[in-house]
Amino acid sequence: MTQNSILLRQVDATGRQIREVQMERAAIPPMRRLSDLVAMLQEHAALSAQVLAGNAKGEPRRAALKHDIERIQSRTRPAADGWQHLSADWGYLAQAVDLRALPAAECADWHAALIRQYKTFMHEMEALDGRLARRVEDLRSQQRRNLGAGLDLLCG
């Protein structure tokens, strides 16, 4: 096998690795969507506390938020540990509020814990995205070096 064919195989392999890492990055949910989800959870927490305390005035908005949160969750399918757990925890909490099965104070604690978990998840996704972005750049640098070495062999 010639030096050129080895370099071409390396360039091709690096190209495949770049595509794989880019696909991993594409699987990370948009941070804006997660940020919106956290904001909705915060508003849902306040309205749920009011509703559970006997003030039904906020119920239509709380129900709409519940629907919006579930819609975002169903459209967001990150390939990351913990997402299914977060979605299940939200489902339990939403059902408990719907059934009026929680005291207002306990509901506030559940919401606060869930919001902390979502924020932690967001930070983990941001860190993962940064690591993957650096990996793509490293692979591109490696690919440029391989291409340069191949050109040196051809021209030299």
As a residue count, the chain comes to 156
Q: How far apart, in whole angstroms, are the C-alpha atoms of residue 20 and residue 67?
A: 34
| pLDDT confidence of residue 148 | 75
Total domain count, the chain: 1
Can you give the residue range of the structural domain that contains 13?
3-155
| pLDDT confidence of residue 12 | 77
Which pTM was predicted?
A: 0.74
Q: How far apart, in whole angstroms, are the C-alpha atoms of residue 83 and residue 81?
A: 6
Per-residue pLDDT of the chain (156 residues; tens, 9 = 90+): 677 677 778 777 888 888 888 887 776 777 788 889 999 999 999 999 999 999 999 999 999 999 999 998 888 766 566 778 888 899 999 999 999 999 988 999 999 999 999 999 888 888 888 888 888 888 888 878 877 776 666 676
| Helix, coil or strand: residue 118 | helix
Mean pLDDT of the chain: 85
